[in-house]
Amino acid sequence: MYEGWKRFLRRSRRSKEPQDTLPAAAPGLRRVAAPHAGLCAVTDFGLGRDHNEDAFYLSDGDDLIIVADGMGGHRAGEVASELAIAATFSFLKARDGAGQDEDASRRTLVDALENAHQAVVRAALGHDEWSGMGTTFIAARIEGDRLCTCHVGDVRCYLKTRDGLEQVTTDHSVVEEWVRRGELSREEARVHPQRHEITQALGKSTRIRPEVSIRTLEPGDQVVLCSDGLTQPLDDRQLASSMDEGGTVEDVALRLVDRALEAGGEDNVTVVVYEYRAEGEQDSRARRS
Ligand code: MN
User: Could you report the per-residue pLDDT of 246-255, keeping only the tens digit for each?
Assistant: 999 999 999 9
Please choose, from the candidates 251, 31, 140, the residue with its C-alpha nearest in 3D space to the C-alpha of residue 243.
Answer: 251
- Give me ligand 1 centre to Cα 230, in Å: 8
Q: In whole angstroms, give the CA distance from residue 232 to residue 196.
A: 9
What is the DSSP code (8-state) at residue 207? S
The percent helix, strand, coil of the chain (3-state, each to 5) is 40, 25, 35
Burial bucket for residue 11 (CB in 10 Å: 0-12, 13-18, 19+): exposed
Which element (helix H / strand E) includes 42? Answer: strand 39-44
Report percent pLDDT > 90 for the chain: 75
Contact predicate 166/154, CB 8 Å: no
Number of C-beta neighbours around residue 237 at 10 A: 9
User: Could you report the per-residue pLDDT of 189-201, keeping only the tens digit for each?
Assistant: 988 999 999 999 9
- Give me ligand 1 centre to Cα 198, in Å: 11
Q: Which of 50-59, 96-105, 108-117, 212-221 has the lowest mean pLDDT?
A: 96-105
β-strands 156-161, 164-167 pairing? antiparallel
Beta-bridged to residue 58, according to DSSP, are 65
- Give me ligand 1 centre to Cα 260, in Å: 12
Q: In whole angstroms, give the CA distance from residue 46 to residue 231.
A: 13
pTM comes to 0.87
- Give me ligand 1 centre to Cα 202, in Å: 14
User: Rounded to 5 degrees, what are φ and ψ at 86?
Assistant: -60, -45
User: Could you report the per-residue pLDDT of 253-267, keeping only the tens digit for each?
Assistant: 999 999 999 999 999
Where do the DSSP E strands lie in 185-280? 211-216, 222-226, 269-275
Residues with CB under 5 A from ligand 1 (ion): 69, 227-229, 267
